Structure 1
């Protein structure tokens, strides 16, 4: 029945809470069926609060692992991350904030395919970023007036509930700006350039632009980042860094002591080797 319902769709978004039988069990099955039908599959899930106990946390962990192997891309929102935004939120406010975030994420993903743009991103570009993308970051920010670029970057990079690897490891990025008619082309260009510097210098970056009447000088930016491939080394030993490593020490590290190296260090090392 599920297969029949999605047969005519190019993309599905599966939303679930991890830790219970329905979310941790059914979500992986549904995403597996969709992927087998070559339907682009995005899973958006929340992980339990710490106070819900170790058993539920372990169930959520296993459910997320199953989803990672069946969905194209997965977005994880830890419920405990809500408390990092404010310790003054009431219980109802916290849950509403989580639900609003979920709705915004889903809308951000679907708008890429459904809303027309002056500088468009086609479905092929969307598939290139999301397909087999693994952990996925979706962030949306809005601002206006003086200092709009700095404010948008602050919202995108530091006020995000999604659990994700370092952004400079992202190998594929979709970036769409929605501009009021008073926003200058240089502001749009500066924003996109500064975001591009945050991700891997080797990342594929797909950009789109929409113009919105009545929005004045406001800017809304949607960022989707995937393919954090450089961190996906299951055989590598995780090392807690307690001191600064030199380039030589990083390059000479054995296979059982692989260290994640920031992009700027990798580029520096490569350029020194060519000289």
Structure 2
């Protein structure tokens, strides 16, 4: 089954925002790819929600599972290896299946600016194929954001080790990886939830996150958050990518939206939040939303993220919201990845490089008004693994031991 064309046409938006929508030829082109059983189940939720503003593609080695999928565009990979019967929980089979159909995958990811990858780690297809597909998408110029889940504790150590190996490979291949433990999502569902209800929070998290990011990038707000801002937050060295969102209505809508956003699995750990280096804060509200309510919301956000986080606020006025507000937070604890131009402190046209989300000082920053150079910071990060490029990484307790300690722990080495 080869994919049909699924370029988003931008029509039939679930809400008409007061902010102007970008012209069709300049809109961010987004595609969501579900890989393996868990990934395909997750993007089915977008179909159920009636959201058709992005391209959707289901990829699997299991032909029967693809047949039952609600997504229109489907790609079965590795037929010569698996004969359509799945990867049998072997990530090497999943990886080879993706390599077998590399040309079809490259065609499926071509022409998009932002690609979401949804997968469950610990099995065969999602664990093995996701890094190959992420790498192909980046090679086509897309910004790649992966949303993956880790196995339940009761699934055992072997499956956890497989998942951690797949996570390390995906972190190498994608621009950013949002990783959620299934046990955290189980806590959200509650002990009395059925098995089907237990997995629902994962699908809802993906669907809600995609829809809110789409709205943030599609509509021009009072202060615009654009694709370059998103790229500056996601393309960073080391650290974690965090996302949370919440909605509120009525007299306590601000408190409810904040509670929902910071109650999200990835924003609920205060220690991780305090390490955030930068964040995008998108707020969608009705025309009567007050400045005092903005102040209340941003005060809480800044307190939770800490003083070192560079935040950009993007308000969007939606006349259909009326007495409602929606809050989306995307943050990163990683350090900026500097280009050759930014390492010299200048852009390609010679201008000094500045950015509110990705501030990069020259390696020898000239002290303003002092006539001397300040001590700079060496930019040391992994560029290539040389002869070990294709080898499996050594991952222990979620930590990649192949990376030097100063990179894993974001230690800055100063120039003398």
TM-score range, shorter chain: 0.7 to 0.9
Give the structure with the larger helix fraction: 1
Report whether the alignment pairs 1:150 with 2:255: yes
The 2-side partners of 1:48 and 1:189 are apart by 40
1:90 aligned partner: 194
The 2-side partners of 1:77 and 1:196 are apart by 24
State the SS of the aligned residue for 2:274: helix
Structure 1 residue 34: Cα displacement = 2.3
1:268 aligned partner: none
Report whether the alignment pairs 1:62 with 2:165: yes
1:138 aligned partner: 243
Structure 1 residue 6: Cα displacement = 2.5
Bigger RCO of structures 1 and 2 (CA < 8 A, at least 6 apart): 1
Q: Which sections of structure 2, spanning at least 5 residues, go unmatched?
A: 1-102, 337-380, 382-396, 398-404, 411-416
Which residue, 200, 204, 228 being the options, matches 2:310? 204
2:57 aligned partner: none
The 2-side partners of 1:163 and 1:157 are apart by 5
State the SS of the aligned residue for 1:138: strand
State the SS of the aligned residue for 1:166: helix
Number of aligned residue pairs: 237
Which residue, 123, 138, 142 being the options, matches 1:20? 123
| Per-residue Cα deviation, 1:159-218 (whole angstroms, up to 9, x for no partner) | 436797610111110110011223212202321232123214222212111111132221
Larger radius of gyration, structure 1 or 2?
Answer: 2
* 1:70-85 paired onto structure 2 within 5 Å: 70-85=173-188
The 1-side partners of 2:298 and 2:321 are apart by 19
| Per-residue Cα deviation, 1:15-41 (whole angstroms, up to 9, x for no partner) | 111011111111111112222343211
Length-normalised TM-score, structure 1: 0.77
Report whether the alignment pairs 1:111 with 2:212: no
Which residue, 265, 290, 303 being the options, matches 1:160? 265
The 2-side partners of 1:119 and 1:162 are apart by 24
Q: Which sections of structure 1, spanning at least 5 residues, go unmatched?
A: 239-254, 261-275
Preserved CA contact (<8 Å) 1:179 1:211: yes
2:109 aligned partner: 6
1:186 aligned partner: 292
Length-normalised TM-score, structure 2: 0.52
Q: CA RMSD in A?
A: 2.8
Tell which deviates more after alignment, 17-26 or 198-207.
Answer: 198-207
The 1-side partners of 2:211 and 2:267 are apart by 15
State the SS of the aligned residue for 2:236: coil
* 1:33-72 paired onto structure 2 within 5 Å: 33-72=136-175
